[in-house]
Copies of this chain bind each other. A is one copy, B any other.
């Protein structure tokens, strides 16, 4: 196997760069997962997660990717034939539809073109037409398109119906405004590896009282992802039912310390600033952004390739020559857009370096542009 270059700038929308302080915790020896020490660590991590979610509800940490907790949310609430409204304007919104289908729920899709944001009034209309909808799913930050959906405003609507409000904040929590209780979110889903600045492999889920009422009367469709097993074991012993990823809990705990020390408000402002610099820089290069302006993500920026720039070639130059890794498009926009993640630990130098490398790669491929770095500097000097 070729030697791995670990030191490229990781500007994809997750997993993101992890601070040395957090990485180094994983070099600590493994402790027993059925000891009081581990119980105290897990409880402490859960308490910190509650502060980041801003919830008085229950929170659990699951060993698995973000998709595991998306699955968990549905597997524990949806029965065969139950109607679920899935808001779809990207790959991850669609994923909820697919999960509901596995559990034989009836999917009612509210679809938008990729790049467009979801409209709360559309959600209201469908809920009015279908008062028996059991759950509404929405992805806060559509990593696949760079769109931010208005979860606060959608929450104001869903709270007046019986439906559970299930929100995926995998690529926003810790980088954008999320307030689980304030936004009336019943089940909130988070990943470790995005704005929280921890390594990938574990995920978190919050459960409201309204959600517990449904879960308690629903047979879990999954064994590994049966939320009741996590609740029972945590309540009785502060443990997880199955062996957890101990090293990743060390890392998440430390990453949450960093999030809380910076402060949620400051952190969101930093993400907004990085997004503004990125957007301004790209626009100064004459690049068209993909997401419509009112619904633009502050943790990932998506942009349309100028005519003649081939995605793979461009990203190869960026990665191999300039050591910057960004993402291409997924699904229907594959080859058409590129995405820059500015999540978690991302700071000024990373944005400036990335914009400069993009200018150089564009030039090499015949699209001669400049001014992106200067425009971004103006934003960052303020």
- A12 and B44 CA atoms in complex are apart in Å by 24
Q: In this assembly, does A224 line the interface, its C-beta being within 8 Å of a C-beta of chain B?
A: yes
Please indicate the chain B residues that have their CB under 8 angstroms from the CB of A246 in the complex: 15, 199-201
Specify how many copies of this chain sit in the oligomer.
2
Secondary structure type dominating chain A contacts: loop
Q: In this assembly, does A242 line the interface, its C-beta being within 8 Å of a C-beta of chain B?
A: yes
Q: Nearest residue in B to A101 (C-beta to C-beta)?
A: B223
Chain A 1-46 residues near chain B, CB threshold 8 A: 1-2, 4-8, 10, 12, 14-18, 20, 23-24, 26-35, 37, 40-41, 44
State whether A248 touches B201 (Cβ < 8 A).
yes
Q: In this assembly, does A57 line the interface, its C-beta being within 8 Å of a C-beta of chain B?
A: no
- A279 and B191 CA atoms in complex are apart in Å by 44
Q: How far is the CB of A4 from chain B (nearest CB, A)?
A: 5
- A281 and B6 CA atoms in complex are apart in Å by 47
Q: In this assembly, does A325 line the interface, its C-beta being within 8 Å of a C-beta of chain B?
A: yes
Q: Are A98 and B247 CB-contacts (below 8 A) given A33-B200, A64-B63, A242-B66?
A: no
Contact of A243 among B24, B28, B102, B191 (CB under 8 A): B191
Q: In this assembly, does A359 line the interface, its C-beta being within 8 Å of a C-beta of chain B?
A: no
Please indicate the chain B residues that have their CB under 8 angstroms from the CB of A6 in the complex: 28-29, 31
Name A residues whose Cβ lies closer than 8 Å to a Cβ of B: 1-2, 4-8, 10, 12, 14-18, 20, 23-24, 26-35, 37, 40-41, 44, 63-68, 70-71, 74-75, 98-99, 102, 191, 193, 199-202, 220-226, 241-248, 251, 319, 325, 327
Q: A65-B224, A222-B224 are in contact. List 10 more A-B contacts (CB 8 A).
A: A2-B40, A4-B37, A15-B33, A26-B199, A34-B327, A65-B242, A65-B244, A67-B243, A68-B224, A245-B248
